[in-house]
A and B are shown apart, each in its own frame.
Chain A
């Protein structure tokens, strides 16, 4: 998942954020929870004495539609965790175990046929929507069809492997999956058939886009009208300019603490409209409990020193990187791309982002502790002489190169640094700063002829392919389109085949597949379509009376598990 906004920062934070939770997550041993973690983990069971109260959340703006089959943004995905369930789910806990898939609306993990294409789920009994209607196999079938009928953002990618899906993507109206998703009402089972095995299918099912909704939900974006769900809360009102209000779902009974634990606050109010600066002050004053937006750089020192107990720092499955356009001069030459891998001091960029406590330099495309990550570092430090040599060898010295960056402070600083480094290794470099609002789509379109840019990628789910295959496969390169996430324009049949092989191996041997992904990562680093810069961390700032903070590696802070009493 992509998040454009950046934690702006400056060197002065290094001192301040050092106190933030002791910066405990810097060793890369996993998405560690902040050192200021509260006593009492979820495993201890529901703690009645903390039940109740109102949790007050802040964001500068609403985060789009409430329709879980359509919304594709961090803010509402986080809220959907308390509203909706799929057949399976990521374990709702902090730490590394949050990457585990656990049965949710299904009684247990599905039985998978020997060829890996048929998944049979037995539905849990006694689960009801917030309307009181029980969840049936028909609801599950209707929900899968709805993903396509509303042309969901991932319908053509994540779920395209279901039998019949290809036709549904092309003709969403009245789409049916009668061969692909089959209900047996009597047995209470749902069988999903895939065209080809997909080792990541369960993870895709655990995302909000595959949430199970009532079968009579209209096949059209429901926008601001809440759709009944199965989670511990329900939305009673939503105005993206003002507020979202959640109250308890009266029909919720905890069926699996791993998949969907009972929430603590009686009410969750998400207020929109304050600037991040004002929001930080509100949390300090106890007028609000948590902020969605990245914290403003000039407040980090203060938070790190005076409010260290209320700050939580966690590693993110994400990276900042330079997509290198392999189809435009000078970076169509392999030597020129290799020169880029030597050209930058990544520690300097980490400083620009906010220091070692909020980011760590990246050597690989896959972030540390992410599945498939291999601990190699073939370009361990800046080497300008070597880079200059390589530029000379490539015969591209003196050519013009422009770097396109967004207009937030961090991107501009990093952009300027990239520009000056390019000058040093022998190019005539220019910096092009464009509005953050259009940057992400602008750099994707080949018509804009972007040679280099600075961008970010946040994982949708914990699988190596979500970085490597999404960012660098032929399939995600679409010329002349604003939706072409392979920004480098890198398309190599051989690498595509190796990625396909790794995915295939993943069906039977995850460890073996991870080793292959590590090798693919290494090979791609050599070929240089991407220069990884650093892996950012998330800083959550909560009010004094909030307890039980848990950081979920996929969906971030588990909001409904926070104590306000």
Chain B
């Protein structure tokens, strides 16, 4: 088991290294991105350009530049942005993490509660009108792109109905917990719901399918034969087993979202999280920040994968030997 875990994390480290090299090479292979020309400013004199090139080390071979960047990122922790000079990359990411975590954790609670409730309801009510209705609602959630939904939510709450029904909605943006839990939650409420709707739909559909299968299993028939109430059969027996794939899926989704996959929600609602930071860095081709946020995101995705794999291996010995 220990050997498997070590192998798994070794592979994860390799993936991270490969991603960092790829980001670096793609950046420098793109025409028109010469960072020295961007820093020196338009119509810069060639001599000025050379000075900038030398002072930032852009005249050195790419492998050296790569190592320098990694050294600043991981050893001295003082990697700075090319665009907003003087802004350290790591503190930017560290400051963005609570915003992203607040968004993702809150949304996750909502979508798990909503998804499980909807999935269970539909699974239990098969054969009635409730099932297709709930599932339709699920499809509805899955098919609304989050950036579109977010814009529509904003249109209604900030504009069309801002002076009447939604006068309680605060301006877009983030309120840190230091301003009180109430303000924090109020600012995040609509982003939470927007982000949660998509995942609630996916999870509800998945759970309903699992539940439908489980309710046909032998152990359910046995439970019924024992004379257990239908409610107990559903919740204690069928649902419990059906939740296993949901939990592993949740691990992966959560990892990706914390890593910055909530980008669109953050941009639409003006939340200064990791996704927003990545978006901004891509907008102005800020390699150090792109590198930092991509590695951070990759780290969470790889970590979530590794954790899921390890947990699976714990549950199923066949995986360990594979």
Q: Show the binding face of A for B, using Cβ within 8 Å.
A: 1-2, 61-62, 64-67, 70, 72, 151-157, 160, 169-170, 172, 221-225, 239-242, 271, 273-275, 277-278, 281-282, 284-285, 287-288, 434, 437-445, 447-448, 470, 476, 478, 481-483, 485
Contact = CB atoms under 8 A, between A and B. Distances in A.
Contacts of B32: 434, 438-443, 445, 448, 482
B86 A225 contact: yes
Given A61-B280, A62-B84, A223-B85, A483 B49 contact: yes
B85 A65 contact: yes
A151 B48 contact: yes
Nearest to B46: A478
A65 B86 contact: yes
B152 to A, nearest CB: 12
Contacts of A153: 40-44, 48
B272 A273 contact: yes
Given A241-B277, A285-B158, A483 B43 contact: yes
Contacts of A439: 32
B278 to A, nearest CB: 11
Nearest to A273: B270
Contacts of B80: 223
A274 B173 contact: yes
A40 B45 CA distance: 44
Going nearest first, the 6 A-B pairs with the smallest beta carbon separation are: A223-B86, A156-B45, A153-B41, A442-B32, A482-B37, A438-B32
A511 to B, nearest CB: 27
Interface string B33-77: 110111011111111110110010000000000000000000000
Max count, chain B CB within 10 A of own CB: residue among A275, A437, A439, A483: A483
A241 B280 contact: yes
A224 B172 CA distance: 25
A346 B155 CA distance: 35
Contact of B31 (A152, A156, A169, A442): A442
Contact of A485 (B43, B51, B85): B43
A434 B87 CA distance: 28
Contacts of A152: 48
Given A62-B84, A222-B86, A281-B154, A470 B43 contact: yes
A481 B268 CA distance: 37
B30 A438 contact: yes
A241 B154 CA distance: 21
Contacts, number: 162
A29 to B, nearest CB: 30
A505 B230 CA distance: 98
B20 interface: no
Nearest to B53: A151
B43 A476 contact: yes
Contacts of B158: 278, 281-282, 285
B284 interface: yes
Given A169-B48, A448-B32, A278 B154 contact: yes
Interface string B131-148: 000000000000000000
Contacts of A281: 154-155, 158-159
Contact of B87 (A151, A223, A478): A223
Contacts of B277: 241
A160 B87 contact: no
B276 interface: yes
26 contacts: A64-B83, A65-B85, A70-B41, A151-B55, A153-B41, A154-B44, A157-B45, A170-B51, A172-B51, A225-B86, A239-B87, A240-B84, A273-B272, A275-B270, A277-B154, A282-B158, A285-B162, A434-B32, A437-B282, A437-B285, A438-B31, A439-B32, A441-B33, A478-B46, A482-B34, A483-B49
Interface string B223-251: 00000000000000000000000000000
A284 B172 CA distance: 13
Nearest to B174: A273
B54 to A, nearest CB: 9
B272 A242 contact: yes
Contacts of B113: none
A269 to B, nearest CB: 12
B267 interface: yes
Nearest to A460: B43
Given A223-B84, A240-B84, A281-B159, 18 more contacts: A64-B85, A65-B86, A153-B42, A153-B43, A156-B44, A169-B45, A223-B80, A223-B87, A275-B267, A278-B268, A278-B270, A439-B32, A441-B34, A442-B32, A445-B31, A482-B32, A482-B36, A483-B43
Given A61-B284, A445-B31, A448-B32, A154 B173 contact: no
Given A223-B84, A445-B32, A72 B159 contact: no
Contacts of B44: 153-154, 156-157, 483
B168 to A, nearest CB: 13
B92 A241 contact: yes
Contacts of B309: none
Given A223-B80, A242-B272, A275-B268, A441 B38 contact: yes
A318 to B, nearest CB: 14
A483 B40 contact: yes
B178 interface: no
Contacts of A445: 31-32, 34
Contacts of B42: 1-2, 72, 153, 440, 483, 485
A65 B84 contact: yes
B213 interface: no
B4 to A, nearest CB: 41
A415 B41 CA distance: 26
Given A72-B42, A275-B270, A448-B32, A437 B284 contact: yes
Contacts of B159: 281, 284-285
Interface in B271-312: 271-272, 276-277, 280, 282-285
Nearest to B92: A241
Nearest to B86: A223
Nearest to A63: B84
A462 B52 CA distance: 28
A439 B34 CA distance: 12
Contact of B84 (A64, A160, A441): A64
A439 B267 CA distance: 23
Contacts of A62: 84
Nearest to B81: A240
A72 B45 contact: no
Nearest to A58: B270
Nearest to A172: B51
B205 to A, nearest CB: 31
B78 interface: no
A273 B159 CA distance: 18
Contacts of B55: 151
B43 A481 contact: no
A170 B44 CA distance: 13
Contact of B51 (A151, A240, A444): A151
Contacts of B271: 273
Most chain-B CB neighbours within 10 Å: which of A225, A437, A476?
A437
A448 B171 CA distance: 45
B172 A447 contact: no
Contacts of A170: 47, 51
Max chain A CB contacts within 10 Å: which of B33, B43, B268?
Answer: B43
Given A155-B48, A160-B45, A241-B272, A438 B37 contact: no
B253 interface: no
Nearest to A470: B43
A546 B30 CA distance: 44
B182 to A, nearest CB: 19
Contacts of B51: 151, 169-170, 172
Contacts of A240: 81, 83-84, 87
Contact of A221 (B86, B267, B276): B86
